[in-house]
Amino acid sequence: MTTLSPDTPPRATERAAAPMPESRAVKVAAPTVRRESRALALLTRIALPGIVIAALLAAWHAAVRISGTDLLPTPWQVLLGVVELAEQGLLLKYIVASLFRVTWGFTLAVLVGIPLGLVLGWFSLAARAFNPAIQILRPISPIAWIPLAILWFGITDAAPIFLIFLASVFPITVSVMAAVANIQPVYVRAARNFGVSGPALFRRVILPATLPQIITSLRIALGIAWLVVVAAEMIAVTSGLGFLIIDARNAGKRYDLVIAGMAMIGVIGLFLDLLVRRLERFDEVRWGYSNR
């Protein structure tokens, strides 16, 4: 216990007995709270999906063992099939082939769909002219185009690239058109008050305002493109993950390789979606996503 002399000034006594200011306590506690929040978020992001996947794999294994079927392989047998494909050099070859076709078809769809959607969404006269044709072509399944694609391009990479382009360009175009139509008028009026018009209006106002919806349309279109490339590879080419599935079924009914191909399609689709979602981190896009 500290004894203060009679000569100690009253203010010194108050300073000795006063607790830590609340602002300083908050500053000390804030980093700890942030670290705990980040750790909890990381745990939730990794642990929960891992638990769900482990539970599904366990249920799959139990179902195969209980049923005693020989047609459906266990998760371990599928993993051995993936290892077998990797050792033969086929896994990487087929993955690269599928990604090559998706990259080209999807890129062409983005280069056509986004500018077309911006123009049709802004100019009502152009929308009236082209929208009926888009709505007629959009519901036609890309699979229905496979005979024509083979007739036009043969058994080459151009056929699945064409099908992926058709599958992706219409969702992107329609989504961008809707995004432009739903822009808040206050943005356009404010830009025009500052003398912004013509191409500068598209570059500085229309495109930034529609970026969140464009990112969403890209995620949807990429998922469709990945579906279509698998279907096209089953018929129109002799390589890729789709070809792997149909070839494994025909060559000795290797259902472990069939499901291995399906699993690789799902895993790659997840990574492609995560890759597109990375675009949401840019400052030009982040403002459009509230409470994230």
279 and 163: one domain?
A: yes
The answer to whether residue 256 is domain-embedded is: yes
The answer to whether residue 161 is domain-embedded is: yes
206 and 233: one domain?
A: yes
C-beta separation of 218 from 110 below 8 A: yes
141 and 201: one domain?
A: yes
270 and 239: one domain?
A: yes
Torsion 62-63-65-71 (CA) sign: negative
Asked whether the predicted pLDDT for residue 241 surpasses 50, the reply is: yes
pTM of model > 0.95:
no
Cα–Cα distance for residue pair 177/135, rounded to 1 Å:
13
C-beta separation of 128 from 177 below 8 A: no
C-beta separation of 258 from 77 below 8 A: no
pLDDT tier, 4 (very low <50, low <70, confident <90, very high otherwise): very low
Contacts of 211 (CB under 8 A, 6+ apart): 284, 285, 288
Residue 261's closest CA among 250, 277, 275? 250
Which has more confidence, 10 or 162? Answer: 162
DSSP designation for 287: T
Residue with tokens 């002219």: 129
Whole-number percent of the chain with pLDDT over 70: 81
State the alpha helices, DSSP H only, in the chain. 10-17, 22-67, 75-88, 90-122, 124-137, 146-153, 158-181, 185-193, 199-201, 207-233, 241-250, 255-277, 283-286
Residue 81's closest CA among 285, 267, 264, 268? 264
- Please state the separation of Cα 37 from the chain's center in Å: 25
The residue type at 42: L
263 and 279: one domain?
A: yes
The answer to whether residue 241 is domain-embedded is: yes
DSSP designation for 196: -
User: Vertex 63, ends 258 and 90: CA angle to 5°?
Assistant: 20
pLDDT tier, 287 (very low <50, low <70, confident <90, very high otherwise): low
| pLDDT computed for residue 1 by the predictor | 45
204 and 112: one domain?
A: yes
Given its phi and psi angles, is residue 74 left (phi above 0), alpha (psi -120 to 50 degrees) or beta?
Answer: beta
89 and 198: one domain?
A: yes
Distances (CA, A) of 65 to 161, 255, 257: 41, 16, 19
The answer to whether residue 22 is domain-embedded is: yes
Query: Which of 28, 43, 67 is the C-terminal boundary of a domain?
Result: 67
The answer to whether residue 3 is domain-embedded is: no
Give the number of domains in the chain: 2
53 and 100: one domain?
A: no
Asked whether the predicted pLDDT for residue 235 surpasses 90, the reply is: no
The answer to whether residue 145 is domain-embedded is: yes
Mean pLDDT confidence for 140-164: 87
Which has more confidence, 207 or 28? Answer: 207
Of 104-108, 124-128, 262-266, the range with the highest mean pLDDT is 104-108
The answer to whether residue 265 is domain-embedded is: yes
Residue with tokens 């638990």: 51
Q: Give the CATH number for residue 83.
A: 1.10.3720.10
34 and 122: one domain?
A: no
Cα–Cα distance for residue pair 45/43, rounded to 1 Å:
6
Asked whether the predicted pLDDT for residue 28 surpasses 50, the reply is: no
Domain of 47 in residue numbering reads as 12-67
272 and 233: one domain?
A: yes
172 and 273: one domain?
A: yes
C-beta separation of 94 from 245 below 8 A: no
Which tens digit of pLDDT belongs to each residue from 119-150?
A: 898 888 988 899 899 999 988 888 888 888 88
